[in-house]
Structure 1
Amino acid sequence: MGRMKSLSLTETFADQFVPDQARLVLIGKKDFCWDFNKKGRDISLYNEKLTANKKHETDHETVLANIGFDSGQHYWEISIDTFVDIEDIYIGVAKKNVGLYTRATDTGCFWGWMCTGDRKFESSPNGNHLSTFGGMCKIGDIIGVLLEFTNGIGSLFFYKNKMFVGRAFDNLPKGTYYPAAC
């Protein structure tokens, strides 16, 4: 499925790739990994909870990070280590009450990039909104996610292999959002 990048306390800000739009990167500020208590039962966590793997490719199970954001600017990366052609990989942000056993696009509280399906999706209680976005990803690609808040309203940007893909959303309602993968 994917792996989060661990940022070392010994690295300086200049040592890190920082997207042009970002003014803040989490470097040793908080313990940032996948949350053992907020994942589907068929998702296994490894490598100090930085790596998440699904047992079955066709399952739609979600895993959230152990920390959520409701203000500021936050950047993280997820590398795509493995997947099969029939699998969709969703990367983005979700509210804490996301259904862990529901397709990301059907939860009503997950926004992101279906990076093996060439689309972005916006969940809402009124239905899904899918549109073409970002192209296809492959094994070895590194997906960067920038979550930025202005007056409590979130914007979500994506990067692929350090290259800017685009602004996916600029209207996330006020609330706390967790890095998520499905």
Structure 2
Amino acid sequence: MRFYNSMQKNMSFADVVASIKYFIKANPDCHYRIAVGTDSQVKGGFTCFATGIHVHRIGQGAWCCVTKVVENKRYKNISEKISRETLMTYELVYKLNEELMEALYDFSANYKNFDCKLEAHIDIGIKGETRTLIREMVSYFEGIGIDAKIKPDSFVASSYANRYSKKFKVG
């Protein structure tokens, strides 16, 4: 899995973790929100999944990146597609939580104002056909103690990742 943003290309997961730590270390006496979300687009017989990571220094900017996976499968069933998006988000949130836990604890112990919340952004909401999936998808994250946000609060999935999921070539 390779990540990129407007300034950095071909980042490994280790590079992403190092960039997040560097971003926080630049101003550790702040409040942070790290959010992960996935969106997908179907084109022909392919589905492109884009997963975004957004690190927001509340009131003072953000650092973000995205990774894309194109599957040779056309997801026709909305439940299956949303489940796949949610699983991709879950896997990345879980890995980030594991890799960042010690560093975030150290920042918390050393900086009085430091606060960091990890969130999962799911591309579902109370309007439309995805509303029936809310309880099931949110429960994935409750089990590991991660806040799950749905539309209109799930901007990493519904806006950031959405922008990148639309940009892919078939074949």
What TM-score, normalized to structure 2?
A: 0.32
Q: Which has the higher strand share?
A: 1
- Between 1 and 2, higher relative CO (CA 8 Å, sep ≥ 6) is seen in 2
What TM-score, normalized to structure 1?
A: 0.31
Larger radius of gyration: 2
Q: Which has the higher helix share?
A: 2
